[in-house]
Amino acid sequence: MKHMRRLFSLLSLVLLLWGSAVAQDYTVGQLLRDLDAKRVREVSFDGNGNATVTLVGDRREVTVVPPTADFLTRIRESGAEVNVRSARSPFAWVFQLLPIVLLGLFLFVMWRSMRGAASGGASNTFGRSRAHVFAEGSVKVTFTDVAGCDEAKADLQEVVEFLKSPERFHQLGARIPHGILLVGPPGSGKTLLAKAVAGEARVPYFSISGSDFVEMFVGVGAARVRDLFEQAKKAAPCIVFIDEIDAVGRKRGMNFNGGNDEREQTLNQLLVEMDGFESKHDIIILAATNRPDVLDAALLRPGRFDRQVVVDAPDVRGREYILKIHARKKPLDPSVDLGVVAQRTPGMVGADLENLLNEAALLAARDGRTRITMTDLDDAADRVLMGPARKSRLVPEHDRKVTAYHEVGHALVAQLLPHADRVHKLTVVPRGRAAGYMLPLPTDRIHYTREVLEDTIAVALAGQAAEEVTFGEITTGAQSDFQKATNIARKMVTEWGMSQRLGKVANLSENDTFLGGFTERAPYSQLTAQAIDDEVKRIIDEQYARVKALLIEHLAKIHTAVDALLVRETLSGQEFSTLLAGGTLDALPAPKSRPTSSA
- 185 annotated ligand-binding residue: yes
Classify residue 142 by burial, with Cβ atoms within 10 Å: 0-12, 13-18, 19+.
middle
- Identify which of 306, 357, 289, 40 has the alpha carbon closest to the alpha carbon of residue 159: 306
Instruction: Determine contact, residues 455/585, Cβ cutoff 8 Å.
Output: no
- Tell me the pairing of strands 179-183 and 305-310: parallel
Instruction: Determine contact, residues 320/157, Cβ cutoff 8 Å.
Output: no
- 188 annotated ligand-binding residue: yes
Q: Would the CA dihedral through 565, 567, 568, 574 be positive or negative?
A: negative
- Identify which of 237, 253, 232 has the alpha carbon closest to the alpha carbon of residue 297: 253
- 186 annotated ligand-binding residue: yes
- 219 annotated ligand-binding residue: no
Q: Find the helix or strand (DSSP H, E) in which 214 lies.
A: none
Taking only Cα atoms into account, the Rg of the chain, rounded to an integer number of angstroms, comes to 41
The whole-angstrom separation of Cα 146 and Cα 157 is 13
* Whole-number Cα distances in Å, 309 to 284, 287, 301, 346: 14, 10, 15, 22
Residue 548 DSSP class: H
Residue 440 DSSP class: E
Instruction: Determine contact, residues 211/177, Cβ cutoff 8 Å.
Output: no
| Helix, strand or coil, per DSSP, at residue 208 | strand
The whole-angstrom separation of Cα 400 and Cα 408 is 12
Q: Which of 407, 467, 468, 535 is catalytic?
A: 407
- 410 annotated ligand-binding residue: yes
The whole-angstrom separation of Cα 562 and Cα 407 is 9
Question: 293-325: buried (b, 16+ CB within 10 Å) or exposed (e) per residue?
Answer: eebbebbeeeebbbeebebbbbebebbbbbbeb
- 403 annotated ligand-binding residue: no
Instruction: Determine contact, residues 399/435, Cβ cutoff 8 Å.
Output: yes
- Identify which of 532, 538, 436, 544 has the alpha carbon closest to the alpha carbon of residue 482: 544
- 187 annotated ligand-binding residue: yes
For residue 509, the cross-strand partners are 520
Please say if 407 is a catalytic residue.
Answer: yes
- 190 annotated ligand-binding residue: yes
The whole-angstrom separation of Cα 441 and Cα 163 is 44
Peptide bond into 237 cis (omega under 30): yes
Annotated binding site: 184-191, 406, 410, 481
Active site residues: 407
Q: Which residues are annotated as a binding site for ATP?
A: 184-191
Binding site for Zn(2+), by residue number, is 406, 410, 481
